[in-house]
Amino acid sequence: MNCSRVPLMNQPAWIDELKSLVEPGKVLTDPDSLQAYGKDWTRQYDPAPSAIVFPKTAEQVQAIVRWANTHKVALVPSGGRTGLSAAAVAMNGEVVVSFDYMNQILELNVTDRTVRCQPGVITKQLQNFAEENGLYYPVDFASSGSSQIGGNIGTNAGGIKVIRYGMTRNWVSGLKVVTGKGDLLELNKDLIKNATGYDLRQLFIGSEGTLGFVVEATMRLDRAPNNLTCMVLGTPDFDSIMPVLHAFHGKLDLTAFEFFSDKGLARIMARGDVPEPFATKTPFYALLEFEASNEEIANQALATFEHCVEQGWVIDGVMSQSKQQLQNLWKLREYLSETISHWTPYKNDISVTVSKVPAFLREIDAIVSAHYPDFEVVWYGHIGDGNLHLNILKPENLPKEAFFATCAKVNKWVFEIVEKYNGSISAEHGVGLVKRDYLEYSRSPMEIDYMRAVKAVFDPNGIMNPGKIFAL
Ligand code: MLT
Ligand code: ZN
């Protein structure tokens, strides 16, 4: 059974009931809160939730889910609301469950190198906590200052260090979840080795709140990296980036390998608060990072740079000599998403295996040039792990609806190529509402049927983030 918008006439009664489940003042229904909490960073949808509820404990989350089952009210989880697939958008009278007040770091275990925390902990808060304790939480991305751990788990967030550390999935050693039936499950008990059948923890990671809500997570930490050093290299064309990756990969243990185009760099330079990496203009730039733990490694990096110049793959480059320079070089890449958000971009987040990237990108680029001749296209991404971000900027004078409709037409051709290369239509941003109609380009109909069946087990009344990942 699927639930739909809650009848408005019943609202006062059920809102009072909802209020009785949490602390005083922890249910909001004012228009500003409904607007703010009903959306994420996507701009396609107009938020229209019925209420926002702020639980403080796992027991309160259970009570909310049981209440929602009784009244057939749809629930939408809300973290830092930095998502780019509208998985946290509530546009049909749903109740938004915000984890803002479940934001405590609960316990550090130095021996196990783990930290137990609530889902509303901000990514940066966890990173800082790890650093203060001489350790490292390696999953990182531009929105780390506001994204929450629960949301990262819900979308299996990736980011800029995946080439070395993998995605969020690799760093979750245990989860407590409230299922769509209101049951509290403890998954994996923080074990490293556990061969006792299905790993339900992994099922919940990336499930976008469609099976249940994370109410506690134990995250793994790593040793702190040693003297992170960054290089930005200008390449004469896109085809040169992959040989550069292979050259450096063979010689250094890379912690990141990113790329961006000259159009992206131009937008960053226009901000006026980021230093230019070097004066030479090139069509593409690679940004790579490694631990220069000793002089030999730094010399190896310079020798590899010279080799790339001799081969004609690199025209100019710069290597950071201080923490400040490292941060400035990273701003060239990390500020891109926020900077171009001014032009309401249509975002594609596609991936293939690394070996297929050159041929794949050539085909995608041909489609994009043929079908978006009048739109500015900004390429960037985590090319070291095969993930490309294709951003189409909205011309200032074109209405949002017309722009998104044009982009949706081109999607078909882009995703046909993704399918041909056995790639993913969403490498790290999730499916949500934005990509759900394209899921069949990455998952077979039979696989989707199994996914639906799994959802029905955990959420028989269809109250958990309905309409996300697949249509109702
Ligand atoms: C990034 O790589 O910057 C993030 O995935 C956000 C984006 O694609 O804009
Ligand atoms: Zn990204």
Contact 96, 53 (CB under 8 A): yes
Top mutation candidate among 40, 139, 332, 337 for ligand 1, by most atoms within 8 Å of CB: 337
75-78 and 95-98 beta bridge pairing: parallel
Report the nearest-CA residue for atom 2 of ligand 1: 381
State percent of the chain over pLDDT 90: 92
pLDDT of 10 higher than 70: no
d(CA 256, CA 54): 37
pLDDT of 408 higher than 90: no
Average pLDDT over residues 57-83: 97
SS3 content of the chain, % helix, strand, coil (to 5): 40, 20, 40
pLDDT of 51 higher than 50: yes
Q: Which residues line the pocket of ligand 1, CB cutoff 6 A? A: 141-142, 336-337, 347, 389
User: Which whole-number Å values give the CA distances from 205 to 75, 121, 154, 157, 209, in the listed order?
Assistant: 18, 16, 5, 9, 9
Which ligand 1 atom sits nearest the alpha carbon of residue 334? Answer: 3
Q: What is the pLDDT of residue 1?
A: 45
Measured in Å, residue 382 CA sits from the centre of ligand 1 at 9
More confident residue, 371 or 150: 150
Measured in Å, residue 21 CA sits from the centre of ligand 2 at 38
Contact 218, 173 (CB under 8 A): yes
What the block records as the tokens of 103 is: 């934001």
Measured in Å, residue 429 CA sits from the centre of ligand 2 at 7
Count Cβ atoms below 10 Å from residue 99 Cβ, excluding itself: 25
Alpha helices in 80-136 (DSSP H): 123-132
Top mutation candidate among 147, 332, 389, 434 for ligand 1, by most atoms within 8 Å of CB: 389
pLDDT of 224 higher than 70: yes
Q: Of 256, 275, 265, 258, whose CA–CA distance to 339 is shortest?
A: 265
Measured in Å, residue 404 CA sits from the centre of ligand 1 at 19
Alpha helices in 72-192 (DSSP H): 123-132, 149-155, 162-165
Average pLDDT over residues 44-59: 96
What single DSSP character describes residue 238?
G
Contact 280, 316 (CB under 8 A): yes
d(CA 156, CA 169): 6
Report the nearest-CA residue for atom 9 of ligand 1: 337
pTM exceeding the 0.75 threshold for the entire prediction: yes
Dump pLDDT digits (tens) for 316-347: 999 999 999 999 999 999 999 999 999 999 99
Lowest mean pLDDT, pick from 112-121, 313-322, 397-406, 411-420: 397-406
Computed over every residue of the chain, the mean pLDDT equals: 95
Residue with tokens 């001749």: 373
Q: What is the pLDDT of residue 119?
A: 99
With a CB cutoff of 8 Å and minimum separation 6, the contacts of 399 are none
Q: What is the pLDDT of residue 374?
A: 84
With a CB cutoff of 8 Å and minimum separation 6, the contacts of 117 are 104, 105, 106, 126, 149, 216, 217, 218, 219
Q: What is the pLDDT of residue 137?
A: 98
Measured in Å, residue 156 CA sits from the centre of ligand 1 at 14
The domains found in the chain, sorted by start residue, are 8-101 (3.30.43.10), 105-223 (3.30.465.10), 228-337 (3.30.70.2190), 344-453 (3.30.70.2740)
Give CA torsion, residues 203, 207, 212, 217, to 10 deg. 70
Please, which residues bridge with residue 260 across strands?
285, 380
What the block records as the tokens of 378 is: 């900004």
Top mutation candidate among 335, 342, 380, 426 for ligand 1, by most atoms within 8 Å of CB: 380
Q: What is the pLDDT of residue 18?
A: 97
Measured in Å, residue 428 CA sits from the centre of ligand 2 at 7
Contact 277, 329 (CB under 8 A): yes
pLDDT of 430 higher than 90: yes
Residue burial 450-460, b: 16+ Cβ < 10 Å; e: rest: ebeeebeebbe
pLDDT of 5 higher than 70: no
Contact 309, 243 (CB under 8 A): no
- pLDDT band of 9, cuts 50, 70, 90: very low
